[in-house]
Amino acid sequence: MQLETIRQSLASLIDPDTGKDYLSSKNVKNLRFEGGVVSLELVLGYPAQSQFPAREEQVKQALLGVAGVSAVNVKVSSEIVAHSVARGIPLQKGIKNIIAVASGKGGVGKSTTSANLALALAAEGAKVGLLDADIYGPSQPTMMGVADQHPESIDNKYIKPIEKYGVLNMSIGFLIDPEQPMVWRGPMVTQALTQLLNDTLWGDLDYLVIDLPPGTGDIQLTLSQKVPVTGAVIVTTPQDIALLDARKGLKMFEKVGVPILGIVENMSMHVCSSCGHIEPIFGQGGGQKMGAEYGTELIGQLPLDLSIRLNVDAGKPTVVAEPDGEIAAIYKAIARKVAVKVAAKSQDFSSKFPKIVIQNT
């Protein structure tokens, strides 16, 4: 009877990131009650290391209010699993989930968002890789502070990614002269992308974040049709012109069956560094309106802030440059929302199925 009361108390506790209770979400494991002491494991389906102390306290405070409970032992952790993709493409070996970050046009902060999203997922406890898929204009080596490094190959076939800030990085920018323009046609570009993805020794990753070039061309189509993308994040600004192009990117993913995980709105407002005056230079409400039109969520709004640009130019994105700052907190909240959206998708069980081999006998 006492255990049932404890269960009812847990059923009333809401996860702030998912909006669902821990019990129905099956986050509660190994629940025991002996001698007035409750012990349990709270296993989240997404990385949220920064939130572990708050979750532990949330559960303790609720259960200590139950009659007969004198102490509560809670262990909070995350367990990230592979999720199936809509088109039934087999998952990439060792990579549980692939997140594409896209925009309809350039200059909206997509690459900056990709870098900080990858770093935020890593900061929350996940194993993360970052693939720069912009063959014509790779910027991640500079943003991640590894532009002067070159990846190694052990067997002249597979390449070791470059690790920085706890994230594994791969980009065409590592393999070419930065002064050399990539005068390639579409088929060469898509072949380069698939090689970068398939010939990199990623190891075991919870998430691979792919920074796509702007637009809806060959690279985007190849990625969405041949690569097992779990979901896409659309980056835009509130400006009407940017939103027009962002809609095209969103509709492209819809057509090829890639779920939209959410919209990130950059440059939502400008905060004056002298007086603190807030002004929506590029308009306001665009991302919210677009999300409502297409049945997806605006998962984050970032200010037009000088420090964001200075940090990536210096090769140290905001999440690692100012990990306890307000902007890093926004990126971490976006990362948790993206991971929650991924966790809500159906799991991939293909690795558990036996392989069927047909032989002539």
- Separation between Cα atoms, residue 246 and residue 259, nearest integer Å: 15
- Separation between Cα atoms, residue 350 and residue 92, nearest integer Å: 12
* Residue 20: DSSP 8-state: S
Position 282: which residue type? Answer: F
In which element (H, E) is residue 11 found? helix 2-11
Ligand-binding annotation for 106, yes or no, is yes
Ligand-binding annotation for 20, yes or no, is no
Ligand-binding annotation for 286, yes or no, is no
Contact call for residues 117 and 322 (beta carbons, < 8 A): no
Ligand-binding annotation for 110, yes or no, is yes
Ligand-binding annotation for 217, yes or no, is no
Q: Per-residue DSSP letters for 130-154?
A: EEE--SSS--HHHHTT-TT----BS
Q: Which residues contact 63 (CB under 8 A, 6 or more apart)?
A: 6, 9, 10, 38, 69, 72
Question: Which CA distances in Å does 323 have to 11, 208, 215, 332?
Answer: 33, 21, 31, 9
Ligand-binding annotation for 104, yes or no, is yes
Which of 85, 129, 138 minimizes the C-alpha distance to 110?
138
* Residue 284: DSSP 8-state: S
Tokens matching residue 57 = 């306290």
Ligand-binding annotation for 107, yes or no, is yes
Which of 222, 153, 156, 229 minimizes the C-alpha distance to 189?
222
Ligand-binding annotation for 45, yes or no, is no
- Tell me the sheet residues that pair with 97: 207
Tokens matching residue 45 = 């389906």
Name the binding residues: 104-111
Name the binding residues for ATP: 104-111
